Amino acid sequence: MTLAEADVLIQFLYEPEPYYLPLVIRDIPSLNDKKYVEQYYGDHHVQPYGLPPVRHTQKRVVYCVVEYEPLLDSSDMTFDDWIRIAKDIRESYHEYDGFVILHGTDTLEYTASALSFMMENLGKPVVLTGAQIPVAEVRSDGRENLIGALTVAVNFDVPEVSVYYNNKLLHGNRCTKLNNNRLAAFDSPNMNPLASMDISINFKYESIFRSGNISYFRVQDNLCRNVSILRIFRSISIECVSLFLLF
């Protein structure tokens, strides 16, 4: 599920709705401080969005929204979509302090993991987030997830691909979706979170990956698409493994 899905159920399922999110968040006070935006960006042809002040942070968050066409269900995403996202970040890399990717939860961890290896020498935060309940619903985790992801992307030095969900910041290539019916949908069973957003914001800075390479940021888009997964179990036969490798 994405933040941008309509708040109308279609046969008990949410359906992606183009241009829905940019219009809705313009009128949500917790996601857009209209007075601040008008004061400082009123003369802009396309006005950005601005978060209200966030406790325990130093910077005001001002952000733009770019929506892809067509708006995909995340279960329909392919290698080409990962490459498109990575290249778009590369094109705008020097214009922003950080990047937030709003993504459906079905394949969010796959995109996060792929981007973490595609983006070499990354020096800025790239944070993926989504929602179990769309942002315009009365009860929605989407608002808090978006606010948290934007706060991390602008105010904290986390130069890697991460996932922000349910008040936790997780390594992008160490998290997985564990539950479809809980707001705590994602976790990192084998590695502690990078940060937790409780009453105060608690970072484990020693866990942040920092590249020792001083080379320029680049995107590796030459991906091998012939990938399969062999699950090893006790008493698996040599013949079974051999047949898999020949597939």
Query: What CATH code is carried by the domain that includes residue 80?
Result: 3.40.50.1170
pLDDT (average), residues 131-150: 93
* Token pair recorded at residue 99: 């990047």
pLDDT tens by residue, 188-226: 999 999 999 999 999 998 899 887 777 899 999 999 998
Give pLDDT, residue 6.
47
Percent with pLDDT over 70 in the chain: 94
> What mean pLDDT do residues 31-48 have?
96
Please give the Cα distance from 214 to 219 (Å, whole number): 15
pTM of the model: 0.90
Number of structural domains the chain divides into: 1
Residue 189: its pLDDT value, please? 92
Q: Is 88 annotated as a binding residue?
A: no
pLDDT at 215: 81
Indicate if the pLDDT at residue 130 is higher than 90. yes
pLDDT digits (tens, 9 = 90+) for 82-105: 999 999 999 999 999 999 999 999
Give the C-alpha separation, 83 to 65, whole Å: 19
Say whether pLDDT at 180 is over 50.
Answer: yes
Residue 105, marked binder:
yes
Provide the domain limits for residue 19: 5-246
The crossing angle, in degrees rounded to 10, of helices 108-118 and 79-91 is 50
The two three-digit tokens of residue 154, written as one number: 């602008």
Whether the predicted pLDDT of 4 surpasses 70: no
What mean pLDDT comes out for the span 22-27?
95
Mean pLDDT, range 135-152, rounded to an integer: 94
73-80, Cβ contacts within 8 angstroms, sequence gap of 24 or more: 73/16, 73/104, 73/106, 74/2, 74/103, 74/104, 74/105, 74/106, 74/107, 74/108, 74/111, 74/130, 75/104, 75/106, 75/107, 77/104, 77/107, 77/110, 77/111, 79/114, 79/223, 79/225
In this model, does residue 170 exceed pLDDT 90?
Answer: yes
Averaged pLDDT for residues 118-145:
94
pLDDT at 106 over 80: yes
Give strand pairing partners of 74.
none
Segment 215-238 shows an average pLDDT of: 92
Indicate whether 53 pLDDT > 50: yes
Average confidence score pLDDT of the chain? 92
Examine the pLDDT at 2 and tell me if it is beyond 60. no
pLDDT of residue 7: 44
> Is 129 labelled a binding residue?
no
SS3 call for 91: helix
Catalytic machinery residues = 105
